[in-house]
Structure 1
């Protein structure tokens, strides 16, 4: 029996540890099938709407290739094609799209929008990112950890930087559900909300995960199996860059910080894009202006043997494929995950 069929994938805490583990294992399995050129068209004849209020390289590419591999037809609708709350309400748009498409991906600002889409469309809706959560990224991230370490339970992942954004929220919540220890190193003003911390603590009480939220970066990275960071200013966020950089520079992932984990084989993750050098116009402008070589992660660490950022990025496609196939297809799903 497929517990996922017809379900939307909006945020991590809608799912149990068993369900999230299944999706991670299923993604690893689908990755293997693709490598062996074994067809897996679980969504043959389906049509998928890809709604993008926020631009994206990885999410759009991953959903497009994943849908095509599964035998579905993806249709991209950018911010000029959808009129959420502008000329048409979200509910009205959802009803219309649900009558034509078999599944809907949404990437944008408000979690409310993706929730309303799911409530009114009558088809599975997948959250490709909102300001609050980034659940498809989580399946890829924890898949990458499992591929690397052969297990998840008992690992320690430390996230450093802006601890109030969707990535910090999602990592904290997912780790808490799966029994992965999550440490967040962030200034007091940029730590997860009390509400999110409480939700994560409740999940950690069940899984046995240990959670630590601190402004002491040395304490945060101690014994970490994985270090994770994200850009210091989120898309659409209005802040004083100079102030934010000054605040977060102590949380930069560099060689010195990597050494402080006390482990030789600590891996480094980043959801990308990353300002690790001056080869982007925004990165160059900011690093020149503040006399830096890089922002949230240094180039040498980004390109080091510890870094798995490109494996992680490639895994977005396999993770999204697993989510779509499980919620919209009829793959054989054993009661116990045996992959």
Structure 2
């Protein structure tokens, strides 16, 4: 029996495997948007009568809707298990809960606090674990982000630079590696005192060297934005950090993406944000302006979840011979 493959982070995937996930997301979007009944029915039978568990210890909008929608597309019943619904980590160990839940479902989407929680789930689960967010990675967001960039700027035919201006967090940990794997230059600007995770930085440097790409880490937001085809940011105050909001906002002064900063980017730049968004991160004229593709990006979370289910559940982690 072959080992179960889980989706934990983008860095764990071969370059072509990651490309395949984006192509599958693109494929399912085409089917979903065209309402091709024959293709709908064929895919709906793949997990008919099965259950997909959603273990969420952190609240969500896009992740929950997209995951439940993707499970339903394949005929599975999505079972939402919030932090108040099951015994996980309260009256029962991770090991016991994982053994029980994974014995009754075809897959577990896990949106949790600690990366260690994901690792424990992977270690003890009998079915694939899809990391739907932890404090270290957010691979589903990276899949949808790359699909969105491909649709609007086509990285396969254009040389692109992606500039991240904001915190060093789980989103950029996966997004940086994703962009580099696809041949894009990456520039990351964080405030002084905030550094990209050293392990991610090392992997990024290795990929950049292998592909002859620019991978820049800086504390200068203007430097990062210069010539960028994509400007990206995220929340400055993550869930669980609300107690430090005042200090965080002071630290991030000068890092809001506004018209003045955007002037340094390519004239045809696109703006992205994984949502939810706050005013301190990006001005209204950028977020709702002509360069923004944030709502296309949000919709693409659905197709990213479909791709993950198809590869890791329907095809048991085999990236070849997808049907």
- The 5 A counterparts of 1:1-339 are 6-38=4-36, 39=40, 40-41=43-44, 42-152=46-156, 154-162=159-167, 164-237=168-241, 239-261=243-265, 263-275=266-278, 294-330=279-315
* Change in 2 beyond 3 A, CA 1:248/1:95: same
* CA–CA distance in structure 1, aligned partners of residues 263 and 172 of structure 2: 22
* CA–CA distance in structure 2, aligned partners of residues 309 and 44 of structure 1: 33
* Change in 2 beyond 3 A, CA 1:221/1:75: same
| TM-score normalized with structure 1 length | 0.88
Deviations, residues 290-331 of structure 1 (Å, cap 9, x unaligned): xxxx31000111111100000000000011111111111149
| TM-score normalized with structure 2 length | 0.92
* CA–CA distance in structure 1, aligned partners of residues 321 and 195 of structure 2: 37
- Greater shift, 245-254 or 99-108, is seen at 245-254
Deviations, residues 211-240 of structure 1 (Å, cap 9, x unaligned): 111011111011111000001111012553
* CA–CA distance in structure 2, aligned partners of residues 111 and 145 of structure 1: 27
* CA–CA distance in structure 1, aligned partners of residues 309 and 321 of structure 2: 20
Deviations, residues 40-92 of structure 1 (Å, cap 9, x unaligned): 22322321000000000000000001110111110000001233332111111
* Change in 2 beyond 3 A, CA 1:208/1:154: farther
* CA–CA distance in structure 1, aligned partners of residues 3 and 21 of structure 2: 13
Unaligned runs of 5+ in 1: 276-293
Cα displacement (A) at 1:159? 0.6
* CA–CA distance in structure 1, aligned partners of residues 183 and 89 of structure 2: 39
Q: What secondary structure, in the 3-state scheme, does the structure 2 residue paired with 1:209 have?
A: coil
* Change in 2 beyond 3 A, CA 1:248/1:87: same
CA RMSD in angstroms, aligned pairs only:
2.1
- Work out whether residues 311 and 319 of structure 2, in 8 Å CA contact, stay in contact via their aligned partners in 1: no
Q: What secondary structure, in the 3-state scheme, does the structure 2 residue paired with 1:190 have?
A: coil
- Work out whether residues 5 and 328 of structure 1, in 8 Å CA contact, stay in contact via their aligned partners in 2: no
* CA–CA distance in structure 1, aligned partners of residues 85 and 108 of structure 2: 14
Number of aligned positions between the proteins: 314
Q: What secondary structure, in the 3-state scheme, does the structure 2 residue paired with 1:188 have?
A: coil
Cα displacement (A) at 1:334? 8.4
Q: What secondary structure, in the 3-state scheme, does the structure 2 residue paired with 1:126 have?
A: strand
- Work out whether residues 233 and 239 of structure 1, in 8 Å CA contact, stay in contact via their aligned partners in 2: no
* CA–CA distance in structure 1, aligned partners of residues 55 and 252 of structure 2: 33
- Work out whether residues 186 and 215 of structure 1, in 8 Å CA contact, stay in contact via their aligned partners in 2: yes
